[in-house]
Structure 1
Amino acid sequence: MRFTLPDGSTESVTVHTLLNAGYAGRSQDEVAAHVAELAELGVPAPSVTPALYPVSPYLAAQTAEVPVQHGRTSGEAEWALVITDTGEVLLTAACDHTDRELEVHGVAWSKNAAYDVLAGQAWRLDEVEDRLDALTLRAWAGDALIQDGTLADLLPPRYWLDVLRERELAGPGTVLLSGTIPMIGGVDQFAGHWRVALGDPATGNTIELGYRTRRLPDPIG
């Protein structure tokens, strides 16, 4: 994967460790309420929160198209930490595309059913860290705004960097997605295209990604 930085330079990463955080809201009381809501929909509760799910590294993608097996899949607006081949820590926009039918059987399984889409631009973490909580995170399902929050809603990158260090995973080739923010009620999440924007109000800069889903052919047998 290759990322363009604000100064026009690029950084590369060969992904060998891909991780998805879950139930990673800054307020764990709100997370507990969300876990209870999901349980009513049949989604199994995690044994601990926040959670961290290993994902097959080939599912990290910079792509405009996500193949899906059916119509009940949807994205989740997230930020991603990327540790490049030179050890630089980058922050970018990401979308964890998730199989909602599979999610009721196991969240970890659902995370491995579709791509984690990452933007092609990034910021150096240390250059935005003094204003992280003010950074905005938004997503659109189709043309409808479905998520709208800030990074203050989620556990900060340094929390997850500490977790990676404890697990000896904080090296080149690691990519970690943050977990997501709440969805706006009444919006159809099963849209055919998704867009995510990570914004910096202090500079007016925005990192965006967008993709369409493509239904795979029906199986034979």
Structure 2
Amino acid sequence: MPVLHFSLPDGHRVAVEVRALLNAGFAGRSQDHVAEHVAELVAMGIPAPTKTPCLYPIAPFLALQSGEVYAQHSRTSGEAEWALVITRDEVLLTVACDHTDRDLEVHGVAWSKQAAPDMLGRQAWRLADVADRTDDLTLTAWVRSSGEWTEIQSGTCAELLPPEYWIDVLHAQKLHAPGTVLLSGTIPMKKGVDQFADAWRVELGDPLTGRTISTEYHVRRLPDPIA
């Protein structure tokens, strides 16, 4: 099982062995907007979920803190998210980027998420320390193409179902245990920005303290198969 390492604002470091990795999907706070998004995806040939929100179990080894993602083709991209990390003593909150195979997505969302890693930040906050203002926390993502960074996502965590919702789900599913990592689902992407970029950077921000947590990685295209 992979082990993730997090630095906390007070200087403590926490190591977490990932035993369960879960990706939330169609997790917008407004389920009316989610329904509109599902209709758009169906028009693109992506299968509709039977209900929303969704929770996709992903192989734990796909939880990474790395500067690189390896992709087999050019149609993969990230998604700005927050992540809950359950430790033996508390719940941590950090930034995440759910890298996804968009070509595989038309065959199944779960398959597309299993084909690429979830990238997590190396810093975290105790959820208890920000629980009274999680809706105010910001999520921002940038993509890099030809050496230029362009903002592709920008919003607040109020656009997504709150951590408390997912903690209740984890308890109900008997998954609230040390080593569980849950990603939140994402906010809308800006139209006209090419998501199929050679690098992604995602930032979780706390306007009250000015603190930020970020993750950044390059997308490395694998060579074509030798056959």
Q: TM-score, normalised by structure 2?
A: 0.96
- 1:22-33 alignment, distance < 5 Å: 22-33=25-36
Question: Is contact 1:87-1:171 (8 Å) kept?
Answer: no
Give the equivalent residue in structure 2 for 1:81.
84
Please state how far the C-alpha of 1:87 moved relative to its aligned partner.
3.2
Q: What do residues 40-99 of structure 1 show as CA deviations (whole Å, max 9, x unaligned)?
A: 111100011000000000000000000101000000000000012x23200000000000
The share of aligned pairs that are identical, in percent, is: 67
Where does the alignment leave 5 or more consecutive residues of structure 2 unmatched?
none
> What is the root-mean-square deviation in Å for CA atoms of aligned residues?
0.6
Give the equivalent residue in structure 2 for 1:99.
101
Please state how far the C-alpha of 1:219 moved relative to its aligned partner.
1.0
Query: Paired residue for 2:190, among 176, 184, 191?
Result: 184
Give the equivalent residue in structure 2 for 1:163.
169
Question: Is contact 1:80-1:93 (8 Å) kept?
Answer: yes
AA matched with 1:97? H
Query: Paired residue for 1:52, among 51, 55, 61?
Result: 55
Query: Paired residue for 2:200, among 194, 199, 216?
Result: 194
Give the equivalent residue in structure 1 for 2:181.
175
Give the equivalent residue in structure 2 for 1:141.
143
| 1:151 aligns to 2:157 (yes or no) | yes
AA matched with 1:116? D
Give the equivalent residue in structure 1 for 2:43.
40
Question: Is contact 1:66-1:214 (8 Å) kept?
Answer: yes
Question: How many residues of Structure 1 are paired with residues of Structure 2 in the alignment?
Answer: 220
Please state how far the C-alpha of 1:12 moved relative to its aligned partner.
1.2
Q: Distance in 2 between matches of 1:189 and 1:32?
A: 22
Give the equivalent residue in structure 1 for 2:18.
15
| 1:208 aligns to 2:214 (yes or no) | yes
Query: Paired residue for 2:67, among 34, 55, 64?
Result: 64
AA matched with 1:161? I
Q: Which runs of 4+ in 1 moved over 4 A?
A: none
